[in-house]
Amino acid sequence: MAETRILTGNQAAALAAKLCRVQVVAAYPITPQSKIPEVLSEYVEKGELKAEFVRVESEHSAMGVCISASIVGARVFTATAANGLAYMHEQLHWAAGARLPIVMPVANRGLGAPWTILNDMQDTIAQRDTGWIQLYCANNQEVLDQVILGYKIAEQLLIPVMVCFDGFRLSHTMMPVDVPDQAAIDAFLPPYQTRTPLDPERPVNINPVVMTDPLKDADDRMCPSYMGFRRRLQETMEAALPIIGACGDQFEAAFGRAYGDVLDRYRADDAEFLFITMGSLTSEAAEAADELRDRGTRAGVIGPRVFRPFPAAALAAACASVQAAAIVEKAISYGYEGALATELKAALFSHNGRRPTLYNYIVGLGGKDVKPADLLVCAEETLQAAGRRERQDRPRWLNAEI
């Protein structure tokens, strides 16, 4: 039977890994995710999780352990944040290029320098082009669920998955979380079966140097060139959203919580104005949307659960009938604007003839508090600009006084 527990986001992530019966845990601490490997070490020590718990000397090594163990067929797990994720950067490309179904929660934290231990999304947004699927969580229930879903998705597509959630705002905040029983998880997520089993009688060379043009292997089969490998990864990403949605539908059928829609929607069906944001900010945006409704403005919220692959068509359709939208982000692509704003604009250009007024707001960097009242300011400015048919030439930094 499922039960409700009061869990932090970190505890939810660790419990999800246990429920998924991970076989190798690569552990290296970094605030604010350090509690994840601590909880998993307790599970292993008590015999509640049969897994190899590997203490490594760096985040780079943690991903190296995951890569090696996944290649030989283990279900693997690690977690990180901020500069630790940045230190993994090279290995992230290796994991995706090798098509390994690794799942890694990231407790989002601002990158140094200067140092901060507090939340923004600069760390994972900066890694969006490494070939990993990126899922974003609005609350601790989604942290648990998305880790479980992450393995279902990764092992079907053979693409690694980041499960991203706000440091401290979710990682250290306690919330009620419905926890499925182990038998239900086992039925939903059977043991991982590698598609490239290692056999001493048939040795293989894994991730060799490949050349510009395709070459034949020892069995006279034509093998892809380097560009061919990159194209195959991109093609799988392009076809991934329906599969992610189907896995979400299967999750709903098994556990009653819906993830078939890659967008989290709140009062968006008849909206004339939208907040578009990710992570825990969707909760503040929902409060602000309610206030705007009370004032007579039909407001709603769209929160992409999936950022890679980018849900361009779904977002364009969601914006098709609105007059204006405030895109509120906890990250900046230096020299331009928030990445979500850039990609939404491209989606509207490609998928939708009608384009609403879009204003981009950079908020909450380094843990700066964002209140519903702040989001009301964003809404008022954006709606006024829409009335004047004004376009924004650069992102607006909210509450970024010296």
Q: How far apart are CA 75 and CA 193, in angstroms?
A: 9
CA atoms within 13 A on the CB side of 343: 22
List alpha helices for 180-239, DSSP H.
Answer: 182-188, 226-238
Q: Which pLDDT belongs to residue 199? A: 85
Q: Which pLDDT belongs to residue 317? A: 95
Contacts of 224 (CB under 8 A, 6+ apart): 210, 214, 232
Contacts of 188 (CB under 8 A, 6+ apart): 148, 152, 180, 250, 251, 254, 255
Smallest CA-to-CA distance from 370 within 279, 307, 273, 295 is with 279
Tens digits of pLDDT across the chain (402 residues): 789 999 999 999 999 999 999 999 999 999 999 999 999 999 999 999 999 999 999 999 999 999 999 999 999 999 999 999 999 999 999 999 999 999 999 999 999 999 999 999 999 999 999 999 999 999 999 999 999 999 999 999 999 999 999 999 999 999 999 999 999 999 999 999 998 888 888 887 888 888 888 888 778 888 889 999 999 999 999 999 999 999 999 999 999 999 999 999 999 999 999 999 999 999 999 999 999 999 999 999 999 999 999 999 999 999 999 999 999 999 999 999 999 999 999 999 998 767 899 999 999 999 999 999 999 999 999 999 999 999 999 999 999 886
Contacts of 43 (CB under 8 A, 6+ apart): 14, 18, 49, 51
Kindly state the tokens that stand for 34: 């350090």
Helix axes 240-255 and 226-238, enclosed angle (nearest 10): 50
Q: How far apart are CA 304 and CA 261, in angstroms?
A: 9
Domains of the chain listed by start with CATH number: 3-192+244-252 (3.40.50.970), 263-397 (3.40.50.920)
CB 82 within 8 A of CB 30: yes
Token pair 């892809």 in the structure block, residue? 224
CA atoms within 13 A on the CB side of 83: 12
Q: Which pLDDT belongs to residue 198? A: 82
| Cα-based angle 83, 87, 91 (whole degrees, multiple of 5) | 140
Enter the pTM of the model.
0.96
Q: How far apart are CA 265 and CA 300, in angstroms?
A: 8
Q: What residue type is assigned to position 246 of the chain?
A: A
CA atoms within 13 A on the CB side of 315: 30
Cα dihedral 381, 386, 389, 392 sign: positive
Smallest CA-to-CA distance from 77 within 131, 39, 115, 47 is with 39
Smallest CA-to-CA distance from 27 within 104, 124, 107 is with 104
According to DSSP, the β-strands at 3-7 and 263-266 are unpaired
